[in-house]
A and B are shown apart, each in its own frame.
Chain A
Amino acid sequence: MQIDPLISLPFIFFLSLLIGLFLYLIGRRVGASGEESTNKFSPYACGEDLPARKLQVDVEKFLIYAVYFLIFDILAFILATSLVTPGIFPVMYAAVVLMAVLILLPLWRRE
């Protein structure tokens, strides 16, 4: 990474946040403000009278995918760091990780 503070990652991230904020504030300044009404500030519900409440996420289903996601993420990063020694060893590591998937297959079939 460059030492120059102007061309550094945090500074550019800060600048891009500022640009987003700036555009948004321009929009708020320029934007019209109409009359207030209760319907305007209620969530969109296709014209029906539905109350605003949070839906429950099916965490269990998410969890199964998340476990698999974690396993394969580890696989991806093992392979990403195998730049120096490509060949049979990364493939063997990949095989070990894929064994974990086989062990977890009952989790998949449970439903």
Chain B
Amino acid sequence: MVWEGIVALLEILLFPGFLFLIALALFYEWVDRKFFARLQNRYGPLYTGPSGMLQPLADFVKLLSKEDIIPKAVDKFMFNSAPIFLLSLPLLALFLIPIADLTAVISFEGDLIFLMFLFTLVAVTVFIAGWSSVSRFSSIGGIRAGFQMLGYEIPMCLVMVGPAIAAKTLSISEIAAWQASNTAWFIWLQPLGFAIFVLCLLAELEWIPFDIPEAETEIVAGWMTEFGGPKLALIRLGKDVELLLAASLITSLFLGGPNNLWIIPPIAFFLLKTTFAVILLTTLRALFARFRIDQMIAGAWKYLLPLAILQMVLIQLGLGR
């Protein structure tokens, strides 16, 4: 009993728990930055570690050791707690996704809906972070984040439910297992859903076509303007963890999740597929230019939502499952 408890604790803290997740998140930030730089004919991170691999960690430590400035006008409690929530919510969500095994650490019927709830909560926390730091740039960034959330959340939910209906379960681990046992990935069965899901994830990550809430050239740093030092370090680490969450969601919902093939451990497949997902997201980030907020909202309601409903109707009528 005690031994089992120790094993469970090690699983939560080390592998595939917090330490592994944070290290992997920093690694994927490096993959993203390096690939993005190479697409733009730059070198990207170069000096810290082998080909700059430790640069995200170095940035994190440097930001962590800077002075923590809390402006006089801010709402202290929300301003201080928002960065911590922005790190811990995506970390919690990653425990629902199968990583090192065929089932996740926590897996129950309906965890897909819980995951949607966590995604919404992250967006709401972003709004609160912008709102509580009383500055016009932060407020505008927070309001934009709120509007953007209203735009992309519904298509994303509809599209995430698609694989669930086809696999007849609301558990992420079982959706991945269904794909593995039927050798049919949902990227082939529901390509429209996959495309919409990737677009919505770009909006969720606030990456370039949808980086409206933190548009540097317009509103300084958007909702992050007043955050600095350890708070900014936590926010940036949280964004990395969110990138890992997005990549692993693509993996487990649309790319079949971690397989169990021959003697190759499932984690190898997971790493391969998430790297592919990160590179896909980075390519899209490099391809596009920023939308305006009204374009983003109108596009989401006029095109993304009807397409998502169309995908749903197709699934209900028997296509794509």
Are A24 and B234 in contact (CB-based, < 8 A)?
Answer: yes
Q: Is the CB of A45 within 8 A of B135?
A: yes
**Given A24-B234, A69-B150: A94 and B313 interface contact (C-beta under 8 Å):** yes
- CB pair A23–B233 under 8 Å, yes or no, is yes
* Closest-CB distance, A3 to chain B (whole angstroms): 12
Q: Is B168 an interface residue (CB 8 A)?
A: yes
Residues of chain B contacted by A15 (CB below 8 angstroms)? 12-13, 18
CB–CB A17/B65 < 8 A: no
4 shortest interchain CB distances as A-B pairs: A27-B230, A52-B73, A43-B135, A20-B84
What chain A residues lie within 8 Å of B316 (beta carbons)?
Answer: 79, 82, 86-88, 90-91
User: Are B12 and A7 interface neighbours, CB within 8 A?
Assistant: yes
Do A24 and B231 form a contact, CB below 8 Å, given A7-B12, A69-B154, A86-B316?
Answer: yes
A17 close to B88 (CB less than 8 A): yes
What B residues does A107 contact at CB under 8 A? none
Are the C-beta atoms of B161 and A79 separated by less than 8 Å? yes
Residues of A within 8 A of B72 (CB): 41-42, 52
Contact of B150 among A21, A28, A66 (CB under 8 A): A66
Q: Known: A24-B83, A43-B134. Contact between A13 and B309, CB under 8 A?
A: no
In the complex, given contacts A16-B88, A28-B230, what are 5 additional A-B residue pairs having Cβ atoms less than 8 angstroms apart? A4-B4, A19-B87, A30-B65, A44-B225, A82-B316
- CB of A1 within 8 Å of the partner chain: yes
A-B contact pairs, 8 of them (CB 8 A): A28-B68, A31-B65, A34-B67, A41-B71, A52-B72, A65-B151, A66-B150, A80-B170
Contact partners of B168 in chain A: CB under 8 A: 83-84
- Bound-state CA distance A98–B313 (Å) is 13
Closest Cβ–Cβ distance, residue A108 to chain B (whole Å): 10
A73 to chain B: which residues have CB within 8 Å? 153-154, 157
B residues apposed to A, CB below 8 Å: 4-5, 8-9, 11-13, 18, 63-73, 83-85, 87-89, 91-92, 95, 105-106, 108, 112-113, 131, 133-140, 143, 146-147, 150-151, 153-154, 157-158, 161, 164-165, 168-170, 220, 225-226, 229-231, 233-234, 237, 297, 301, 305, 309, 312-313, 315-318, 321
- What's the tally of chain A residues with a CB closer than 8 Å to chain B? 60
A109 and B112 CA atoms in complex are apart in Å by: 36
Tell whether, in the assembled complex, residue B92 and residue A12 are in contact, meaning their CB atoms are under 8 Å apart: yes
Q: Are B233 and A27 in contact (CB under 8 A)?
A: yes
A54's closest neighbor in chain B, by CB? Answer: B134
Say yes or no: A94 contacts B312, CB within 8 Å. Answer: yes
> Residue A32 contacts which of B65, B88, B305 (CB distance < 8 angstroms)?
B65
With both beta carbons as reference points, the residue of chain B lying nearest to A40 in the complex is identified as B69
A83 to B168, CA, bound (A): 5
A83 vs B315: C-alpha distance in the bound complex, in angstroms? Answer: 11
Does A57 make an interface contact (CB < 8 A)? yes
B91 near A16: Cβ-Cβ < 8 Å? yes
Give the CA-CA distance A31 to B316 in the complex, in Å: 56
Q: Which residues of A contact B4 (CB under 8 A)?
A: 4
From residue B228, how far is it (CB to closest CB) to chain A in Å? 10
Contact (Cβ within 8 A) B106 A57:
no
* Cβ contacts under 8 Å, A90 to chain B: 316
Q: Which of A24, A31, A41, A80 contacts B84 (CB 8 A)?
A: A24
Task: Please state if B18 and A9 are interface contacts (CB–CB under 8 Å).
Answer: no
* A residues in contact with B13, CB < 8 Å: 15
Distance between Cα atoms of A42 and B225 in the complex (Å): 12
* Residues on A with beta carbons closer than 8 Å to the beta carbon of B85: 17, 20
